[in-house]
Amino acid sequence: MKTQVLFILGPTAVGKTDISVKLAKRFDGEIISCDSVQVFKGLDIGSAKVKEEEKKGISHHLIDIKEPTDSFTSFEFVEEMKKKIKEIESRGKLPIVVGGTSLYVKSLILNYNFGGVGVDEEYRKKLNEILQEKGVEELFETLKKTDKSLAEKVDKFNPQRVLRALEIAHFKGEKTTAECEVDPLIFALVLDRKVLYERINKRVDIMLQNGLLEEVEKLKNKGASRDCQSVKAIGYKEVYAYLDKEISYDKMVEEIKQHSRNYAKRQFTFLRGMENINYVDVTDISKAVEEISYMVESWRKKNG
C-alpha cells in the first residue's frame, strides 16, 4: 500500500508555515520542508526559516542539514524526502511536505530516478573549475555536445542545473520516471497577486530590519563565497553584491523585492503545469484550513 503524503505548496510569503502547522496539529502530522535554501545552516532570515515558536511543537525535517559551503542536488533532496516519509509513517504520523521548491515535489511524485546517478566529487570539482574560469555558458555548450536532448530541458542560466545535467550525461544516466511510491494529496495555496506582492515587499523590509546583512556577513566569515550554491539564493546574492560594493543599498533592496516577486510568479507557473492540484485561496486562513481539512479527512478514510 502506498504511503499517504499531504503536500502544501505555494509561492513565497503566501502563508504555508502557519497553515501547515495547523494541519499537522489536526491530523497528527510531521512536516518535511521542501525548500532548497532552508536545508543550509545559517541561512535563516533570508529564507524565512520557521522559528521554534512557530513550530508549535510540530517536528520539522530537512532543515539545517547542510553547511552553507556544501552542495545539495535534486537527487539527494528527493532521496532524503523518501527516507523521512518512511520514518514518519513508521511512527504512525502523517507526512506533510511543505514548500515552494515545486521541482523537488514533482520529482518525488513522478519518482524520478535521475538515472541512479549520485555525486562524483572529482568530476564535480572539474566542472566547478570550468564554471569559475569560463562561466556557465561554457558548461552549457559542453552539455549540448554531450547530450543535446538533455540540454534542451535545462535552464542554461542556472549553473547548478547545468552541472547536474552534465553529471547525468557523463555517467549515461537518464532522468526517467517509475511508478509513484506515494499517494499524494496536493494543495496549492493562492492569494490575490497584488496582496501577495505587498506581502513579499513587506517581508523583505522585515528581513533587513531583523539583520539580513549581518547574517550574510557571518556566512562570508565562515567561508561561504559567492560561488557556493547556498548563497546564490534570492536575498543572499543581492546582499553579497551590495557588500562587495557592486550596487547601492537602495538598489539591493529593489532587486531583492523584484527577484522575489518574479520567483513567486515562476512558482505559480510551475504549479499550473502540475496535475491533480487543489487550489485553495488563503485570504481567510480559517476558512482555508477547514476547506483543506474536509478533503484530507475524506482522503485519509481511503486507508481506513
Sorted by where each begins, the domain ranges of the chain are 3-112+177-303, 114-170
Mean pLDDT throughout 265-294?
A: 93
User: Which pLDDT value is given to residue 247?
Assistant: 98
Strand pairing of 29-33 and 277-281? unpaired
In the chain, where does DSSP find H-type helix?
16-26, 52-55, 74-90, 102-109, 121-134, 136-146, 148-151, 159-170, 193-209, 212-221, 237-243, 249-272, 285-300
223-277, pLDDT tens digit by residue?
999 989 999 999 999 999 999 999 999 999 999 999 999 999 999 888 888 888 9
Strand pairing of 94-99 and 3-9? parallel
118-160, pLDDT tens digit by residue?
556 677 778 888 887 888 888 888 888 887 877 777 778 778 7
Say which CATH architecture domain 114-170 belongs to.
Orthogonal Bundle (1.10)
% the chain with pLDDT above 90 = 63
Domains 3-112+177-303 and 114-170 share a fold: no
C-alpha pair distances (Å), 267 with each of 167, 232, 264: 26, 17, 5
User: Which pLDDT value is given to residue 167?
Assistant: 75
98-108, pLDDT tens digit by residue?
998 877 888 78
Q: Is the predicted pLDDT of residue 176 greater than 70, yes or no?
A: no
Four-CA torsion 111, 113, 119, 120, nearest 10 degrees: 180
**pTM for the predicted model, two decimal places:** 0.81
The answer to whether 65 and 81 are in contact (CB under 8 A) is no
Q: Is the predicted pLDDT of residue 117 greater than 70, yes or no?
A: no
Q: Is the predicted pLDDT of residue 170 greater than 80, yes or no?
A: no
Question: And the C-alpha cell for 258?
Answer: 523584484
Most confident of 133-137, 163-167, 178-182, 213-217: 213-217
Give domain 3-112+177-303's CATH superfamily. Answer: P-loop containing nucleotide triphosphate hydrolases (3.40.50.300)
